[in-house]
Structure 1
Amino acid sequence: MRNGRLLLSFLFISLISFFCTSKLVLADPVLVGYWGYNEYLDLYPEEKALTNTLKETVRGEPVPLAIKQTKPIKISFVYPGEQSSDYWQRNIVALESRLKALNIQYELTPVSTRLNVDFKEQSRSLHKAIEQKSDYLIFTLNTTRHRKFIEHVLQNPETKIILQNITTPVKAWHGSQPLLYVGFDHVIGTKLLANYFQHRFPEHANYGMLYYSYGYLSTARGDVFVQSMDSDKYTLTSSFYTEATEESAYAATQDILKDNPDIDFIYSSSTDIALGAIDAINDNKNTKTVINGWGGGSLELKAIENGELDVTVMRMTDDTGIAMAEAIKLDLENKPVATVYSGEFELVTSDTSEETLNTLKQRAFRYSGVEH
């Protein structure tokens, strides 16, 4: 009954016509219609040079805007903040802190929504940004609906769009790309985790998959992981699309453990999913199954320190807020802006020393604060 209610709830809330919770999901592991991050940079050397320059700028100290503004710029930031991960909140802090350090006058309108649920709210916010003639709109891309929103904005030359949490340019938009794709490349991060599990279980392992909700993130973080694991050595015993919430991940993990209580590890596609899986593991008094995080925010790092989480791929989180501010500065100065930027990762495990972890926190949260 509980799984039935979960499925019906998800179908109703997300309004997606696909089945969204299933045993053994079979999905195309290729990001169809997108250039891979490194693929794009290798294909366009001039873009690679711009991206490398932006990386150096992000690492460096802020250099104030070289022109005089006649009025503050308007920035609309529509983001999926209704989740346990602190990535988006930190992003805003880092963005504003860097804008101030660059002496850029701005007015920021943030709108927090649920990624694959609040489509009407997202639509209203996007249209409002256009009506108010926002200079910059920061949004994300995970579903077909998001893509339609973005294509509508791309047709409006007065508002420039920055796509957050995606670093793979859309092939169909060639010639009319957003100002910037910015985030931490999901494929790079996922392959770091795949490499960890291959070393952790060198001979063989059975594992379960907890996908994000149906869309781009599930393909980039979930299917890429499955594709990266040798199917002759690593057996995917069961997989579920979740609602990208702790509750849905908890229910799915309970089902995985019921069918295979001795499973070696369960791959989690996000912070909320990892936290739900941890709760289910604890409730089953399971001390064998390995759980990963994805992103390395405050809650994940605390779980690692408490011995509840085994590994995560930690984003140097503030990089992307800084990169967006620097891209806006370049645009205001009429200088070329890199099309794509990915921040840096570090693999953190239960064996990472306290000293190393504190150093990584200082680096990752240099604007948003270690104790945020």
Structure 2
Amino acid sequence: MISSSVLADLHLKEYWMVDEFFKANPEQLERSEAFNLRVQSQPKRLINNTDSARILVIYPGLQTSDYWRRSIHAFEHRLKQLGIRYQLDVHFTKPGSDLNLQAKLLTQSLGDTTDYLVFTLDAIKHQKLIEQVKHQTQTKIILQNITTPLRAFSKQQPFLYVGFDHAIGTQLLVQEYQTRFPQGANYGILFGTQGYVSKIRGGLFESQMRAAHNFHLKDSYYVDFDRAKAKAATLQLIKDHHQPDASADTNAGTHTNKLDFIYATSTDIALGALDALKELGLEQDIQINGWGGGSSELNSLKAKELSFTVMRMNDDNGVAMAEAIGLDLLGKSDQVPTIYSGSFRLVDQTIKPKQLNRFESRAFRYSNLSSETH
């Protein structure tokens, strides 16, 4: 469990961490485990579903990462398998920005005509928009890519928080870097935008590494989940902090003027950092992780460029959203948990092709049915 002091340092006390929430609400853990069985099982077609569900989706999907697009494909496939009639209105915006556009889309599209809103929460303005929807409409809110309920919503939580817990994924990456560098290392961090995701993925990583022995953060940058900005930041990071011929510091167990790895907090950031390393011919000298394990990251792993990643069992989140709506339409919303957090697999360059194929078949079991994700 993440300590309260760490949460305070990261300014995350306003959120319930997953394990903390389940400990305080044991009935939610039972409900989540039962719900996960539905997500992992073959779909059971609904009976007497005559109404059409009106669904509005606003996603930060204008990025290289295919997470959001795959989520939509999995969501729709499962809705159809469940026999749910639906009207789907999807809008993609830029990650970490376009907040005014998101507000405009909500105002124009919601009214009293939307049954379900699928949105995200990464900035304070998102919280205000969600509160506005909660207070002014009967729309049920599904928050994607966040699995930590806001304490401010108290007993009036959104219909569902769904995704892959950022803290769990980050802990896996912390453990992998500490295993790879048992004597410590010099590293840099590339954050996204200044918001929730960067705090969990980047801030928690920094906190955990600071507590470890001989891990030295040389510099960090906010790059707005933008590939070009990540490349530029990496070039500057290497210019300022990487002299590969520097002598070893035997006390620290690392080279004082040599970067060992760069921690990336998203797919686009990882690919931008790799662009810089390849330009400088350093892709074999400095390790870089991925975050999410989508197609572009896996291709980079196969090419022996990306060092490793945490791979989300991607389509489970879209399936979970469809199953939650199905239960709600059947009048069984009491079976829908407040949180659904999917699972990860750590994947590196040594993984056997057959094993990776098994992971891909599971993670993309619906979204690979669409040619749009290839």
TM-score normalised over the length of structure 1: 0.90
For the Cα contact (< 8 Å) 1:30–1:224, is it kept in 2? no
The letter of the residue matching 2:65 is S
Number of equivalenced pairs: 345
- The partner residue of 1:263 within 238, 259, 265 is 259
Alignment of 1:11-160 (within 5 A): 28-29=9-10, 31-69=12-50, 71-131=51-111, 133-160=113-140
CA offset at residue 30 of structure 1?
5.0
Residue 319, structure 1, aligned to residue 316, structure 2 = yes
Alignment partner of 2:279 out of 283, 286, 302: 283
What's the RMSD between the two structures over aligned residues?
1.3
Q: How far apart, CA to CA, are the structure 2 residues paired with 1:103 and 1:142?
A: 32
Alignment of 1:172 with 2:142, yes or no, is no
Cα offsets for 1:328-367 (capped at 9, x unmatched): 0111112111000101100000111111111100000000
Farther-moved stretch of structure 1 (114-123 vs 308-317): 114-123
CA contact (8 A) 1:78 1:138 kept: yes
Alpha-carbon distance, 1:38 to partner: 1.3
Q: Distance in 2 between matches of 1:80 and 1:305?
A: 27
2:46 and 2:12 map into 1 onto residues whose CA distance is 37
Q: Which moved more, 1:91-100 or 1:114-123?
A: 114-123
Aligned pair in 2 of structure 1 residues 30, 145: CA closer, same or farther (>3 Å)? closer
The answer as to whether partners of 2:49 and 2:83 remain within 8 angstroms in 1 is: no
Q: How much has 1:249 moved relative to structure 2?
A: 0.4
Asked if structure 2 preserves the Cα contact closer than 8 Å seen for 1:37 and 1:168, the reply is: yes
Amino acid at match of 2:285: K
Q: Is the 1:133–1:158 contact (alpha carbons within 8 Å) kept by the matching residues of 2?
A: no
Q: Which amino acid aligns with 1:176?
A: Q
1:116 CA displacement: 2.4
Check whether the contact 1:268–1:293 (CA below 8 A) recurs between aligned residues: yes
1:157, distance to aligned residue in structure 2 (A):
4.5
The whole-number CA distance in structure 2 between the counterparts of 1:211 and 1:218 is 6
For the residues of structure 2 that align with 1:28 and 1:222, how far apart are their CA atoms? Answer: 13
Amino acid at match of 1:328: I
TM-score of the aligned structures, taking structure 2 as reference length: 0.90
Residue 251 of structure 1 and its aligned partner are, at CA, apart by 0.8
Paired amino acid for 1:48: L
Contact 2:54/2:114, CA 8 A, preserved across alignment: yes
Q: Distance in 2 between matches of 1:295 and 1:150?
A: 26
Structure 1: segments with no counterpart, 5+ residues: 1-26
Match of 1:365 in 2: 364
Q: Output one character per residue of 1:127-160: Cα deviation in whole Å (capped at 9) or x when no partner.
A: 2332152000000000011111011111134200
Paired amino acid for 1:72: S
**Partners of 1:115 and 1:285 in 2: CA distance:** 30
Structure 1 residues 39-81: Cα deviation after superposition (integer angstroms, max 9, x where no partner): 1111101111111111111000001123332x31100000011
How far apart, CA to CA, are the structure 2 residues paired with 1:96 and 1:166?
20
Residue in structure 2 matching 1:302, options 295, 299, 302: 299
2:351 maps to a residue whose letter is T
Q: 1:283 Cα deviation (Å)?
A: 1.0
Shift of 1:98: 0.2
CA shift for structure 1 position 117: 2.0
Partner AA of 1:91 in structure 2 = S
Q: Which residue of 1 aligns with 2:218?
A: 237
Contact 2:317 2:342 in 1 (8 A): yes
Choose which of 194, 198, 201 in structure 1 pairs with 2:181. Answer: 201
Query: Mean Cα displacement is larger for which, 57-66 or 307-316?
Result: 57-66
Gaps of 5+ in 2: 1-7, 243-257
Letter of the 1:323 partner, please give it.
A
